[in-house]
Amino acid sequence: MAWSPDPEALRGRVAVVAGATRGAGRGIAAALGEAGATVICTGRTTRQARSEYNRAETIEETAELVTRLGGTGIAMAVDHLEPDQVRHLAETIRNDHGHIDVLVNDIWGAEKLKGGPAQWNTPIWKLSLDDGLRILRLAIETHLVTSHHLLPLLIDRPGGLLVEVTDGTSDYNASRYRISVFYDLAKVAVNRLAFSQGHELASHGGTAVAISPGWLRSEMMLDNFGVGEANWRDCVGKAAPADFALSESPRYVGRAVAAMAADPARARWNQKSVNSGQMAAEYGFQDLDGSRPDIWRYITEIRETGREADLDSYR
């Protein structure tokens, strides 16, 4: 039977999605909107200004999507590397809403700096140090600044949820080198942030969890393969590898976050590191096409062991 979101599951809850311009951040904001939440969408690209990505997606578009899906979307331009801007964000939220129920740290912004496959597996002494340190600032410092200023709004009552978005779970990353020293460190660190912040939130009745999407059909990924969300399957086995058939829309990881936020027993996830496929199996939600892709399980069971399998069995 087809699954559908509960439009009242998070009605009356206030969420902040830091880094909501595109990709997983937009997908998470949209899924929280599907569940009826008020979602404050932050990022650097607006209809008046762009980040160094120089792409067309804006936080206003994300906020409008949240509202179309049944929530209340609010766009706020914030550079999360600028503490004064994040402090102002916190003050505005306190004045307008008084409290945060869900904080999602999805800030990244280093996709161009990490490079494509041709630049991966390059040793640290051959990489640009400036670019590498910028990756760490964008991927880690932003999360620390955001938590410092916004978590006081989350802990003033029990039940708050902090979600740190990364690439790869703690278990997966612990034994695998991820692209470069800088990228590897960034993604491992975000998992650890959820662990350490979960330790601090527990006494306030709060929960912190790290989540990793699978092979995400972000706007940038679709552009790379010359397709859109409507025809993404056209590139499978051509411009994209065959296992791109197990890719997921950004809404999928978003529905994982929404499911945890609506779960009265969400404290069981405190300090854990999970992926979207695991959460779909746990909560029963589906991606936009009705499937439940689990590429991380496919990678560990099939790709890395050199075995063959029917891809449909991982959807």
> Which pair of structure tokens corresponds to residue 5?
């979101």
Give the pLDDT of the chain (315 residues) as one tens digit per residue: 689 999 999 999 999 999 999 999 999 999 999 999 999 999 999 999 999 999 999 999 999 999 999 999 999 999 999 999 999 999 999 999 999 999 999 999 999 999 999 999 999 999 999 999 999 999 999 999 999 999 999 999 999 999 999 999 999 999 999 999 999 999 999 999 999 999 999 999 999 999 999 999 999 999 999 999 999 999 999 999 999 999 999 999 999 999 999 999 999 999 999 999 999 999 999 999 999 999 999 999 999 999 999 999 999
pLDDT recorded at residue 21:
98
In the numeric block, the tokens 């802990």 are attached to 155
* CA dihedral (7, 9, 11, 15) positive or negative: negative
What secondary structure does DSSP assign to 200-216, as a single string? HHGGGT-EEEEEE-SSB
d(Cα 110, Cα 301) in Å, to the nearest integer? 30
Integer CA distances (angstroms), 13 to 4, 8, 59, 80, 225, in order: 20, 10, 20, 23, 37
Rg (CA), the chain: 18
Q: Helix and strand tally (H, E) in the chain?
A: 12, 7
pTM of this prediction? 0.98
pLDDT for residue 2: 84
Neighbour-count burial for 60-95, b at 16+ CB within 10 Å, e otherwise: bbbbebbeebbbebbbbbbbbbeeebbeebbeebee
End-to-end CA distance of the chain: 15
